[in-house]
Amino acid sequence: QVQLVESGGGLVQAGGSLRLSCAASGRTLSNCGMGWFRQTPGKEREFVAAISWSGANTAYTDSVKGRFTISRDNAKNSVYLQMNSLKPEDTAVYYCAVDFSFNPDYVPKQLYEYDYWGQGTQVTVSS
C-alpha cells in the first residue's frame, strides 16, 4: 500500500554534510509518524531520528543530537534528514519508515512500531 524511496546518500569526508530525502507513494500518510534508521553489516538496525505527523515532536538517538535534524512535508508525503558534522561512525545504510498508529503527535522510536520501510540509501563518511 505504501512505497518509500530514499535518496541523497553518498560519499563525504568527515565534517561534511548530506541531506537525505524519503518520498512516499501509494496513499497519504495522515496521522502517521515517520523515522530514520541505519544499519551496518553484522549489526542491529539502529534508531536515528523520528518525527510525529504534526511535526511538533521529534526524537533523536544520543549520538546524533546537535548534528542531525529531521523534518517533513506532509503535502509531499516526504521526510528529510539533514546530517551535519558527519563522522566515520555514521557510515551505514539509512532507511526511512512509516508508522500507521494514526496518532498525530506520537513519535515512534522502536523498530517494531514501523509498518513500511524503504530500501535504503548508502552513506559513507571517510576519515
Determine if residue 77 is left, alpha or beta; phi over 0 gives left, psi from -120 to 50 gives alpha, anything else beta. left
How far apart, in whole angstroms, are the C-alpha atoms of residue 109 and residue 114?
9
**Per-residue model confidence (pLDDT) at position 53:** 95
Pairing of strands 121-126, 10-13: parallel
Q: Give me the chain's average pLDDT, please.
A: 96
**Per-residue model confidence (pLDDT) at position 26:** 86
**Per-residue model confidence (pLDDT) at position 102:** 87
Which has more confidence, 28 or 109? Answer: 109
- Measured at the alpha carbon of residue 44, what is the angle toward residues 66 and 126, in degrees to the nearest 5? 55
Q: How many beta carbons lie within 10 A of that of residue 102, not counting itself?
A: 12
Q: pLDDT over 90 for what percent of the chain?
A: 93
CA-to-CA separations, 64 to 71, 84, 87, 90, in angstroms, rounded: 15, 9, 10, 9
